Each structure stands twice: as structure tokens, then as C-alpha cells.
Structure 1
């Protein structure tokens, strides 16, 4: 029972990091997907390089570079800031692929029809392209959100007191390995199961609204 307040504080930090990490990942991913969808020359090349770099390097390596590497050249960032940047850097590429799959599913005829009706590009995106593309993108966005939440477990490597960091600390202090690991599993289940059901509900409801 002595571990519960410590776990609660660590869980709050994990949820805080996950919420903003997922939110900013979605925003970044959406803009990256738009750049690739519209084939904006130089930005498209930069976006492709970013996606390949992000998806093909582990989050742990990215965190080490941000936390230890940048400090060697005078850019000292806090653990939480590094963790947030790392999660967004990784998540943005996965979200971009999710949005891109949705955008490419929208028929060119519908886009041209929207333009012929006088829709500007911004109106076209938010009233025609995005609503239809989300039918395809939502399942991938949900899966990526769950993936990112689980990936936050590696931030303990840069001394950020998330639930995994606290778990290792408590095991080292009290040697109650089974009880502490069970508490860790319960923490993730309490968070991941509702998140999984939420995205499942959103996907089904959105399909009913669009359909």
C-alpha cells in the first residue's frame, strides 16, 4: 500500500506525457501528410527523410541523442522535454502514414467536384477530404496512440520518473518483485483498455455518421 501514492504520481506523469505526446503527434502527422498529399517539392523531400529517420531509429536512441547528445554541444534539455520531443518525433511519422492512407483513399473526382463548386483548398480539406479520409485513418490513429502510450515506458532511461522507473526503484528498495510488477501491469491495463475502447467507439460512431 505504501507504493500506491508513488505509483499514482508516476501514472499521472505517464498520462500527461502520453496525452500531449499523442496530441502533438496527431497535429504534426496531419501536416506532414498534407505536405506529401499535395507533393510540395522541397517540403515533401524533407517530410520523407523525417519519416524514414523517425520510423527506422528506436525511441530509446532518439531520447539518448536529445538528453545526452545535445548536452554535449550546449543544449541542455530537461528529462520531460526530451521525452515529449522524442514521443512526438516518433509519433508524428506514424500518424503521418495514418493520415496519408486516409487522404489517398479520397477519390480525385470528389476533390475536383469540390473545386468546381468554388471550395478553396482549406475548405476542401476540412469539408470534403478530411471527413472522408478519417474513415480510413481512425483505426490507424487509434493503434498508433496505444503504441505511443506503451512506448513511453522507455523514458525511464533518461531518469524520468514514469511508472516503469518507479517500478524498478520500488523493486530495488523493497524487493517485492511480484507485487510491484503486478501493480505496473494493472496501471497499464487501466489506461490502455479504456483508450482502446474509446477509439473503437469513435471508429464505429464516425462510420455511422458518415455512412
Structure 2
């Protein structure tokens, strides 16, 4: 193990990690919003939109992120929609993540017994109040394990961004291996930085799940 090489290129990995985290967080945030909207459309069975959402979820979940990125990065400019690598990465992650988040939210919403909704409405609560104060808190607590697993999954999926020339962690590792043939050192730094990014998310997810279970939500 060449520690001098590791210390010399550590700042390069730090810069790549920041890019990975920034794009990952932006893509995941949009994915959460998109997933929530899709789940609500499915829950309320909105005509036409429910079918559109079903098609989107099947298309997104059954195509690789790499193919989606290629379509956005190389395909959209062909029809006059210009973009750059970062926006492409965010859009691809949001497109893929939205479907997974939608399924996580939907499963949580469907886990809430319909008798609770009926009881809330019979007590004079509006549809909005019923959703906001009765259904959503329980649905989100049930969805937390799948929700956190999806976040970790999407952060790991950022490793394919190197295919569209984004200087993320994977691109940096492959670049250094190609230039200096320092495979062990480059991969060591790659693993370390992914652990730094993903371990806190995993720990936070476990703490949230445990706290919600002690509070009386979830199983």
C-alpha cells in the first residue's frame, strides 16, 4: 500500500465525494417529492393519472439507470433539449428514485387500516385533516425501512455517473488506475469514501426505525 499516493490524491477524492453527495442529495430530494405525488395519485385512484403513474413506475423500475442516463444525456439534445452532465445525473436519479419512493409511500399508505380513515371522517375531520394527522404519520413510519433502503440504493447508483463524464468517486478511481496503475490504493480510497457517505445514512435509518417502533408506530 503506497500511503504517499493516498495522501497526495486524498483531496481529489474529497472533491469527487462532494460532487457525488451534492448530486445524490438533489436527485433523491426530487425523487422523494415525485414519489410522494405518485403515491397520492395511486392512493386516491385519480382517473387517467393513475394509469400514467403505473406506466412510469414500470418503465423506471425495469430499465437500468445507465440506460436512462444515456437517453437523457445523448438523446434529449437530439430533440433540442440541451443539458449538462450534472443536470443529467440529477434527472436520472430522480426518475429512477421516484418510482421506488412511490412504491414505498404507497405500501405505507395501504398499511393504514381503512377503519381509521372512516373514524376520522365520522368525527368531523376533513379529508385533508384525516390525511395529514391520521394517515400520513402512520404511513411514513411504516415506510421508513423501505424509504431509507431506497436512499442508500440511490446513493450507490451514483457510481454509474462516470459513464457521462461526471468527476464522481468512481470516475476518479478509474482515472487514477488508468494513469498510475495504483489499483489497490485507488479502490481503497473509493471504498473508504463510500463508507463515509453511506454509513451515517444507514445508522440514521436504524435509529429512526427504532425510535418510531418504541413510539408505537410500525411493527
Distance, in Å, in 2 between the alignment partners of 1:22 and 1:177 is: 31
- Structure 1 runs of 4+ off > 6 angstroms? none
**Map of 1:5-154 to 2, 5 A cutoff?**
5-154=11-160
* Distance (Å, rounded) in 1 between the aligned partners of 2:27 and 2:77: 22
Q: For the aligned residues, what is the CA RMSD?
A: 1.0
Post-superposition CA distance 1:81-125 (Å, at most 9, x none)? 010000000000001000111100111110011112222222221
SS at match of 2:215: helix
* Corresponding residue pairs, total: 211
The reply on whether 1:161 has 2:167 as its aligned counterpart is: yes
Extract unaligned runs of 5+ from structure 1: none
Whole-angstrom CA distance in 2 between matches of 1:21 and 1:208: 31
Which blocks of at least 5 consecutive residues in structure 2 are unaligned? 1-6
Give the match for residue 201 of structure 2. 195
Cα offset, 1:210, TM superposition: 3.6
Given the alignment of the two structures, is residue 178 of structure 1 paired with residue 173 of structure 2, yes or no? no
Partners in 2 of 1:208 and 1:138 — Cα distance?
14
- Distance in 2 of aligned mates of 1:129 and 1:183: 44
Return the alpha-carbon distance in structure 1 between the equivalents of residues 129 and 188 of structure 2.
50
Q: CA deviation at 1:133?
A: 1.1
Structure 1 residue 49: deviation in Å? 0.4
